[in-house]
Chain A
Amino acid sequence: MRVRVKLFGPAAAAVDADEAVVDAAGDDGVTCAEVVALLGAEHPALEPHLRSGRLAVNHAFAAPGNPIREGDEVALISMVSGG
């Protein structure tokens, strides 16, 4: 299953892109933790942002064990700096 992860702020700057794509084995879903591991392996420059950030699925923070299914919107929310 192909998972597109939206990137923002310093994470986007680290890879000079607003999206990172990983291919997870299997078609019936993957966990957030698995996507984080794949991102780190395939995009090493994201590693510090993966450690300090969290994945959001469909506009809500998701726990590592949360599943990601086809059609879900996924984003890496790295250290924020609003306000």
Chain B
Amino acid sequence: MSVRVSIVDGALGAGAKTDFPGAGAVVVFEGVVRPTEGSASIEALEYQTYEPMAQRMLERIGEELSQRHGLIGLDVEHSRGRVGVGECSFRLVVASAHRKEAMAAMNEFIDLLKRDVPIWKRPIRAAGARQRS
């Protein structure tokens, strides 16, 4: 069982880690910045992180879900700073022997991240005008 967490500057690079020996299911989720936030058109999102706590929580969530669901591996990446529309700001890869546990863990991880992990996004409107959220 391996859990890897990365918080990186800007948009995530292309390509997910999918090499998990023994896995029969590798599920990849990518969160991409939409062109609107609410009803407003935006050109980017800016992510702020409380990094030591975010890193720690993502690791704990990953380890707990890996144990509970019997996963082979879990790899999570999240952006800090500016990410443009259409770019990837979050990627989660979950590997297991069979798809049922991978998909269950994927959904649970994202629910917990969105509820608890100290990361905030702020929309940036076109022409660089910043909107306080």
- Does A9 count as interface, using CB distance less than 8 angstroms? yes
Bound together, the chains give a CA A61 to CA B61 distance in angstroms of 14
- Does A13 count as interface, using CB distance less than 8 angstroms? yes
B interface, how many residues as a size bin? 20 to 34
Do B115 and A80 touch (CB < 8 A)?
Answer: yes
Bound together, the chains give a CA A9 to CA B117 distance in angstroms of 13
Do B119 and A75 touch (CB < 8 A)?
Answer: no
Do B113 and A8 touch (CB < 8 A)?
Answer: no
* Residues from chain A with Cβ under 8 Å of B119 in the complex: 80-83
- Does A6 count as interface, using CB distance less than 8 angstroms? yes
Do B118 and A80 touch (CB < 8 A)?
Answer: yes
The DSSP consensus for interface residues of chain B is mixed
| Whole-angstrom distance between the Cβ of B122 and the nearest chain A Cβ | 7
Q: Which of B48, B54, B78, B116 contacts A9 (CB 8 A)?
A: B48
* Residues from chain B with Cβ under 8 Å of A80 in the complex: 114-120
Contacts of B110-130 to chain A: CB distance below 8 A: 110, 113-122
Bound together, the chains give a CA A83 to CA B56 distance in angstroms of 16
- Does A10 count as interface, using CB distance less than 8 angstroms? yes
Do B53 and A82 touch (CB < 8 A)?
Answer: no
Q: Show 11 residue pairs from A and B whose CB-CB distance is below 8 angstroms, ordered by the A residue.
A: A9-B133, A13-B133, A56-B50, A59-B52, A75-B53, A75-B118, A77-B118, A80-B118, A81-B120, A82-B113, A82-B117
